[in-house]
Structure 1
Amino acid sequence: MLKEARADEHLLTGPYRVLASTVLGVVVLAVLGALMGPQWDPVALSDPLAVQTSSTQIGEAPALVRHEVRQRVVTVQLDGTSVQALLSEPQGTDGPARAVVFVHGAGTGTYQEAFYEQAHALAEAGVVTLVPDKRLDTYSLRHRDYVQMADDYAHSVALLRTLPSVDPDRVGVYAESEGGWIAPVMAANDPSLEFVVLVSSPVVPPRQQAAFAADNYLRATGVPHGVFRAIPRAVGMAIPGGGFEYVDFDVTTYQRRMTQPVLMVYGTGDSSMPIVQGPMQVMRDTAIAGNSDVTVRYYEGATHGIRVGADIVPAFLKDMAAWVTGLPQTAGAAPKVAGDQPSQTFLAMPVPEPRWLHNGDVVAVTLIASCIVVALAGLVAPVARGAEVLVTRRRRPDGSAAPAAHRYAPGVARWAAALGAGVVVTVVGFVWYILAIARLALDYTSNGWVVTGAWIAVRAVGILVVAAAVLLFRSIVRNRASGVPVAPGAARAIALAIVVAASAILLVVLAYWGVYQLGI
């Protein structure tokens, strides 16, 4: 009976207590992670935009007339620099023709690699087109000024208006993707622009669009719900290294001054843009300026560049050319909204700002420094032991080495090493997981082993780290109760304190990013 009672006592104070303490630790981290930052709970879009017909044909548009096209490269003078541009002029038009300037999306666009099909289709239809290179000396990942970029593209508009082949009163703008934040600025600042074409326009501020795209990509990839916590905490924080002021640029004030007819085009396969919310917002904004001439077209299955596979949608080129050449009759022609029925599940909305860890520099420095400190602290014990052995040899006349007296207490070194190594592995694994998910999302692909398997693996290692922390704490308490020095010598004591402190910091950061979330 006595043996059985002792066995029961061992079970209650041994593995079961470690398990209970580990569970408690995970729960504490889960609650802490939930309290530290915003959750991600996008609002459902409850007001869909219904198409009037499945046909994308532009009402009241005249039949397109094909023209031969002559091309040449011209120089556009900007403030402080110049760029090259491809000018395409239709031949055989009746007098000066309508013209359009193309505004690039994100990236390092040049006339050799952008808008070939669009510019050619318009030029063949009788519209002079100018595709300038994007100005890059003032454009980078961290620094973009959409108002200044609008001024740069305005120089291309001015150049077109000086050409004999162009009617200066009939010059418009074609903008794609990121250009959707630039063209409305141009239109508001230059009311004499005749029209605006917005293709795959984000409309909402860049930070909101990024969060919306991340949400859609992650849902399509099938990631566990806990990963969504990273959206507001990553997108909402100040990005490490500074810059990125443009992520909060709001084009609304400029859209509310747009009096020109607007053609908006989206592919229903584009999950990166708010394809329903965007046109609705532009309709509301332009209405404030007294402008109701907004035409919207959706192309079935087309992606961000209005492509299905590698090919641009032919109907898009035809419809765009028909709308532009048919102005002003096509500006208000029915149907206003047509094509494939778009679907947008959630609104692109303001991103909650993290209450804690808002400063990206602090987050990055904390992670990197803590991992480095843990790694360096792990070298202290062997270095200290080596120094003690050398000192002992010098002091013994026969040169023999006696075992160093100073050692960590039983179990302390083992569990401290497990804690430090485990938390660093969890951090590295989590960063790898996020990067892997981002790549899958951007490629519109999924991989169950990565999406679910790697997430389970990261969380499992994280839980084992908490167990190692519990076992380390128990070892320290047990040895102190027995009168055994836990970490003899200043070097060992400092190294242990550093490992514990840095690991605690990393555990809190991991909890913040959702590794320990329990649906809280």
Structure 2
Amino acid sequence: MASVSAAGVAVLSLLGDLLAPKPSWQPRPYALPPLTDSIAVADAVEETEPARQYDVHREETTVDVVGGELSATVFSPDAPGRFPAVAFVHGAGAGHGESHFWLGEQFARAGIVAVAYDKRDDYSYFWNRDFDQLAEDAIAVVNMMRARSDVDPERAGLWGLSEGGRVVPLAASRSDDVGFVITVGGAVNGPLRNTAWSVHEGLAADDAPEGARSLAVHVLGGGYLFTLHLDPPPGVWSRVHQPALVIYGNDDYLVPPAESSRVIVDDLRAGGNTEYAVRFFADADHGLRQDGGPAPGYVHTMTDWITRLPDTSAAAETVAGALPVQRYASTVVPKAPWYGGVYALAATVVLTVVGAAAIPAVMRRRIRAASAPGWSMTDRSARWATRAAVGAFATLWAYIGVLIGLGYTRNGATVVYQLGWGLVRAASLAAVVLAAVMLIRAVRGGSGLGRAHRVVLASRSGVVVLLLLNLAYWGIFAPQW
């Protein structure tokens, strides 16, 4: 039995390598040079407050867009004159203008007309993330701002957070009416690539096993139902010719700040745009928050840059703030083959239920009516092998949920990842051993079995083989820990 089990593990390890997505995904250290070698860059971003504070006027309005209209709230300085203006473009997920009201108040006090608008109703994180349509919506809001009597039309721009970092440059590249752009924690790479980097980086920070880290990334690559695979057009920042302010928090774990800022700057330079500034904030997260509030100097950096346009577009310090440190580069995640996707997973679950429960239940009466020598032990071994395979499969997917959830949110711990990985592999090894027992007993006692017995044995054996192949595909039997 030991030799059969060992052979089974070896075969499953080989099959896992053959079935895995090609090319295989491997983490790659981040090796691009920093944006600047200047020692002065390490100085903190200025934390002073604006010299003048305006009273704020607030009004509700709507913006006409393709297919309907968007509700918007305008915050403006309660004073005569024309002011620069900015519209807040949402990140991923449901986007309601209320989430930017606090920022709109701050901008208006500093002498900037600010518009917080709702994302269109038909947007869906999973099913409908149309970056082109979101960019057209943003342009429509800019045109609304430019038509206002209290706005300087040459200084009406866009501010984008996270996924808004894909929308804002797309809008600016299509319309010269966009006077400037600001991106905060801007997502440059596609959603899948950023998510894979984030999960892997979080797991690596907590010393998760290498095999477990690769498992999490490969699972993300199999999510065909979700818009993680919706990549923005490449090189869009090279077509942005307006002044740009690029901001990242150094503790951003949703997008890689060093790499993302490098991509933006390289693209701006490739397009001939030198009117940009990059600001990093130490100890600030993806939304530029620190200790529960906005990072010191964050809001003032933006308001000062906007109110002093066009002078700030040629700032002496192109890069300022402590440079972020990045261990791993984001890399392209290979798409899973058909048998590694969501549909295949659903089919596996259905076939498991049918083979492990439905068919044996249907055949139970026939088996009782037709006795067979040795069936009791053969059936018992098949039952235990099936239970072990189902248990290993369930343990694997529970662990995957822990890996991705805790890795993405940075709430994990080394002991959780290590023990969980050991449990998955131990459960899978136990399933192989019990499958070997089932095989041996089936060979020894199978000659006297009737048709009903053979159907049940084949059904349970098929479930065991199917689940062991599934475990092998996800690298559970690979030699690496």
Category of TM-score, reference length = shorter chain? over 0.9
Residue 428 of structure 1 aligns with an amino acid whose one-letter code is A
Q: Please name the residue that 2:198 is paired with.
A: 213
> Which of 104, 111, 116 is the matching residue for 2:97?
111
User: CA-to-partner distance for each residue in 1:305-363, whole Å, 9 max, x for gaps?
Assistant: 11123211131111111111111111121221121220111211222233563543123
Q: Please name the residue that 1:171 is paired with.
A: 156
Give distance in 2, aligned partners of 1:464 and 1:361.
27
Judge conservation of contact 2:367–2:452 (CA < 8 Å) in 1.
Answer: no
Shift of 1:513: 0.9
Residue 234 of structure 2 aligns with an amino acid whose one-letter code is T
Shift of 1:146: 0.2
Q: Please name the residue that 1:398 is paired with.
A: none
Give distance in 2, aligned partners of 1:295 and 1:239.
37
SS for the counterpart of 1:461 is helix
> Which of 43, 47, 54 is the matching residue for 2:42?
54
> Which of 66, 85, 92 is the matching residue for 2:53?
66
Give distance in 2, aligned partners of 1:137 and 1:426.
40
1:507 aligns with 2:468: yes
SS for the counterpart of 1:331 is helix
Q: Please name the residue that 1:263 is paired with.
A: 245
The alpha-carbon distance between structure 1 residues 340 and 354, as it changes in their structure 2 partners (threshold 3 A), is: same
1:75 aligns with 2:62: yes
Greater mean deviation of Cα atoms: 246-255 or 178-187 = 246-255
User: CA-to-partner distance for each residue in 1:107-131, whole Å, 9 max, x for gaps?
Assistant: 112122x123322221111000000
Give distance in 1, aligned partners of 2:290 and 2:350.
42
The alpha-carbon distance between structure 1 residues 27 and 371, as it changes in their structure 2 partners (threshold 3 A), is: farther
> Which of 84, 91, 116 is the matching residue for 1:98?
84
Residue 420 of structure 1 aligns with an amino acid whose one-letter code is T
Q: Please name the residue that 2:315 is paired with.
A: 333
Q: Please name the residue that 1:28 is paired with.
A: 11
Any unmatched runs of 5+ in structure 2?
Answer: none
Residue 15 of structure 2 aligns with an amino acid whose one-letter code is L
> Which of 444, 447, 450 is the matching residue for 1:478?
444
> Which of 166, 173, 179 is the matching residue for 1:194?
179
Residue 5 of structure 2 aligns with an amino acid whose one-letter code is T
Greater mean deviation of Cα atoms: 462-471 or 34-43 = 34-43
For 1:4-403, list aligned pairs within 5 A. Answer: 18-38=1-21, 39-49=24-34, 52=38, 53-57=41-45, 64-92=51-79, 95-112=81-98, 114-237=99-222, 239-240=224-225, 244=227, 247-355=229-337, 357-380=339-362, 382-386=364-368, 388=369
Shift of 1:193: 1.4
Judge conservation of contact 1:109–1:134 (CA < 8 Å) in 2.
Answer: yes
SS for the counterpart of 2:29 is coil
Give distance in 2, aligned partners of 1:443 and 1:254.
29
Judge conservation of contact 2:197–2:330 (CA < 8 Å) in 1.
Answer: yes
Judge conservation of contact 2:374–2:445 (CA < 8 Å) in 1.
Answer: no
The alpha-carbon distance between structure 1 residues 412 and 380, as it changes in their structure 2 partners (threshold 3 A), is: farther
The alpha-carbon distance between structure 1 residues 424 and 358, as it changes in their structure 2 partners (threshold 3 A), is: closer
Shift of 1:497: 0.7
Give distance in 2, aligned partners of 1:196 and 1:98.
12
Q: Please name the residue that 1:425 is paired with.
A: 391
Give distance in 2, aligned partners of 1:310 and 1:502.
50
Judge conservation of contact 1:76–1:159 (CA < 8 Å) in 2.
Answer: yes
Shift of 1:199: 0.4
Judge conservation of contact 1:89–1:129 (CA < 8 Å) in 2.
Answer: yes
Q: Number of aligned residue pairs: give it.
A: 476
Judge conservation of contact 2:83–2:150 (CA < 8 Å) in 1.
Answer: yes
Q: Please name the residue that 1:5 is paired with.
A: none
Shift of 1:384: 2.9
Give distance in 1, aligned partners of 2:323 and 2:92.
27
User: CA-to-partner distance for each residue in 1:273-296, whole Å, 9 max, x for gaps?
Assistant: 121111111112112321012211
Greater mean deviation of Cα atoms: 32-41 or 186-195 = 32-41
Give distance in 1, aligned partners of 2:43 and 2:101.
25
Give distance in 2, aligned partners of 1:140 and 1:231.
21
Any unmatched runs of 5+ in structure 1?
Answer: 1-17, 389-403
Give distance in 1, aligned partners of 2:407 and 2:264.
28
Judge conservation of contact 1:62–1:322 (CA < 8 Å) in 2.
Answer: no
Judge conservation of contact 2:258–2:323 (CA < 8 Å) in 1.
Answer: no
Give distance in 2, aligned partners of 1:262 and 1:320.
11
The alpha-carbon distance between structure 1 residues 371 and 298, as it changes in their structure 2 partners (threshold 3 A), is: farther
Shift of 1:427: 1.1
Residue 310 of structure 1 aligns with an amino acid whose one-letter code is G
SS for the counterpart of 1:72 is strand
Give distance in 2, aligned partners of 1:438 and 1:373.
30
For 1:441-452, list aligned pairs within 5 A. Answer: 441-452=407-418
Give distance in 2, aligned partners of 1:407 and 1:75.
80
Give distance in 1, aligned partners of 2:365 and 2:137.
61
The alpha-carbon distance between structure 1 residues 271 and 317, as it changes in their structure 2 partners (threshold 3 A), is: same
Judge conservation of contact 2:199–2:216 (CA < 8 Å) in 1.
Answer: yes
Shift of 1:239: 1.3
Judge conservation of contact 1:265–1:298 (CA < 8 Å) in 2.
Answer: yes
Give distance in 2, aligned partners of 1:500 and 1:186.
57
Judge conservation of contact 2:16–2:473 (CA < 8 Å) in 1.
Answer: yes
Give distance in 2, aligned partners of 1:437 and 1:235.
11
Judge conservation of contact 2:95–2:118 (CA < 8 Å) in 1.
Answer: yes
TM-score by length of 1: 0.86
User: Higher Cα Rg: structure 1 or 2?
Assistant: 1
Shift of 1:233: 2.6
The alpha-carbon distance between structure 1 residues 238 and 431, as it changes in their structure 2 partners (threshold 3 A), is: closer
Give distance in 2, aligned partners of 1:357 and 1:341.
43
Give distance in 1, aligned partners of 2:108 and 2:358.
65
User: CA-to-partner distance for each residue in 1:433-453, whole Å, 9 max, x for gaps?
Assistant: 111222222331124553222
Give distance in 2, aligned partners of 1:474 and 1:62.
79
User: CA-to-partner distance for each residue in 1:81-139, whole Å, 9 max, x for gaps?
Assistant: 2221110011225x211000100001112122x12332222111100000001112243
The alpha-carbon distance between structure 1 residues 215 and 328, as it changes in their structure 2 partners (threshold 3 A), is: same
Residue 89 of structure 2 aligns with an amino acid whose one-letter code is V
Give distance in 1, aligned partners of 2:300 and 2:250.
18
Give distance in 2, aligned partners of 1:80 and 1:470.
61
Q: Please name the residue that 2:478 is paired with.
A: 517
Q: Please name the residue that 1:11 is paired with.
A: none
Instruction: Calculate percent identity across the aligned residue pairs.
Output: 27
TM-score by length of 2: 0.93
Judge conservation of contact 1:213–1:272 (CA < 8 Å) in 2.
Answer: yes
Give distance in 2, aligned partners of 1:502 and 1:418.
12
Greater mean deviation of Cα atoms: 50-59 or 429-438 = 50-59
SS for the counterpart of 1:281 is helix
